[in-house]
Amino acid sequence: MNTRPQLATADRRIALCANFNQDSTCFSVGVDNGFHIYSSDPCELQVTRELGGGIAVAAMLGRANFLALVGGGRDPKYAQNKVIIWDDAKKKAVISLEFHSAVRQVRLTRTRIIVVLIGHVHVYQFSSPPTRQHVFDTYDNPLGLVAISARTLVFPGRTPGHVQLCDLASGNISIIPAHTSPLAALCISPQGDLIATASEKGTIIRLYSTDTCSLITEFRRGMDKAVVYSLAISPNSQKLAVTSDKHTLHIFELPTRPHSSPRFSNPQDQHHVNGENKRWSLLGRLPLLPKYFSSEWSACHAEFEGGGVANIGWVAEDTVVVVSIGGGKDGLGEARWEKFVLVEAMNGNGEEVVREGWRRYLDND
């Protein structure tokens, strides 16, 4: 997720949010006086717009000229209960949607505007004026959790820890009881066939099939509670990346799913098929131990240095970009772009993730 509380400082620019576009080739940053757009790799400033007020949500539509903007910060440009559709070709607002409560997140597709409030998700046809198609109730969703693919919209359920999957063509809803604690992060694969979820506990990441709503496997981020900031599945659905307030980027290998076989609902069944290609916890193979020990640990991990929320974008199957918005507990964290690549481990045993470059991206403007 992209907007969480941070402490502002009076003597430097503040990043209020960071959102990758659909294919992670660019990311948009809302700042205290407008927004910026950067290319993801290399990190280069592409567009800057000074609007005279803060932007707490800046969501792109691919590489098109439309963005969804929501005001925020100490001096918001727009009311926080409004969504402004900005046409950057015309350099002006062309659509405005107003709600009864603050907007937490927005997602754009070529045909839809998805607006997330603390207890509802609104789906509009992207037209002028927009036509509302659906409204869904959710459990309190202050982080604005939502993910969308070509045919599936994913957002929190009405029960803590549950996930709702909406078939955008029909409006039909499926429910996955993913966790018993409220959700902290979720994502959907580029192909729309997988979703990954994490709860407020932050120790277990679960992977589900969108077709069957069944559990495929679960991953262990760590033993201690953590705030999971972001989840992202790689372009070919081979890997899952996770960031948290432990300042660690974890990379997990996703199970190989034979096209001729149904997806697996039991992690142990999946292990049987994939054999030693999977890095399952050795403790999970011992009898009589609880399921707590049977989840898979990350294939590799690395530390990132940016402060505050750290969002993930896969720019290639072996390349991850982490964009941090600064802030953090003391308000002094840096707004950083960091690039990580997966390389063959020196010991020849699998892969390792190494940081290839970094930049204070707000210095670019």
125 shares its domain with 191: no
Strand partners, 209: 194
pLDDT mean across residues, the chain: 87
pLDDT tens-digit series, residues 180-231 = 999 999 999 999 999 999 999 999 999 999 999 999 999 999 889 999 999 9
Percent of the chain residues past pLDDT 90, beyond the cut: 76
> Whole-angstrom Cα distance, residue 116 to residue 308?
22
pLDDT tens column, 137-184: 999 999 999 999 999 999 999 999 999 999 998 989 999 999 999 999
Q: Is residue 232 part of a domain?
A: yes
**Residue ranges of the alpha helices (H) in the chain?**
267-274
Residue 204 and residue 77 share a domain: no
Q: Is residue 200 part of a domain?
A: yes
Range with the lowest mean pLDDT among 87-91, 277-281, 356-360?
Answer: 277-281
Out of 102, 137, 172, a domain closes at 137
What single letter denotes the amino acid at residue 254? L
Q: Are residues 232 and 332 in the same domain?
A: yes
For residues 168 and 298, membership in a common domain is answered with yes
pTM to 2 decimals? 0.86
Q: State whether 359 and 313 are in the same domain.
A: yes
Q: Which CA distances in Å does 267 have to 108, 214, 261, 272, 294?
A: 34, 11, 15, 9, 8
Domain count, the chain: 2
Q: What is the DSSP letter of 333?
A: B
How far is it, in rounded angstroms, from Cα 54 to Cα 327?
16
The answer to the question of residue 225 being in a domain is: yes
Task: Kindly state whether residues 125 and 174 are assigned to the same domain.
Answer: no
| Predicted local confidence at residue 334, as pLDDT | 84
288 or 69, which is more confident: 69
Regarding whether 320 and 173 lie in a shared domain, the answer is: yes
**Are 247 and 336 in a shared domain?**
yes
Same domain? 238 vs 342 = yes
The tens digit of pLDDT for each residue in 280-290 reads: 343 344 454 44
181 in any annotated domain: yes
Is the Cβ–Cβ distance between 29 and 46 less than 8 Å? no
CATH number, domain of 84, equals: 2.130.10.10
- Whether residue 278 lies inside any domain: the answer is no
Residue 275 lies in a domain: no
In a domain, 22, yes or no: yes
229 and 331, same domain (yes or no): yes
Average pLDDT of span 299-323: 95
* Residue pLDDT, tens place only, 241-274: 999 999 999 999 998 764 433 333 343 333 333 3
3-state secondary structure of 345: coil
The verdict on 95 and 198 lying in the same domain is: no
End residue of a domain, out of 101, 121, 137: 137
Number of H helices, E strands in the chain: 1, 29
For residue 294, name the pLDDT band (cuts at 50, 70, 90). low
Domain stops at, among 84, 102, 137: 137
pLDDT tens by residue, 326-337: 875 544 568 999
- Cα(294)–Cα(22) distance, rounded to whole angstroms? 33
As beta bridge partners, residue 151 has none
Domain span including residue 82: 14-137
Predicted confidence (pLDDT) at residue 6 exceeds the cutoff of 70: no
Q: Are residues 119 and 176 in the same domain?
A: no
DSSP-derived secondary structure letter, 272: H
- 269 domain residue, yes or no: no
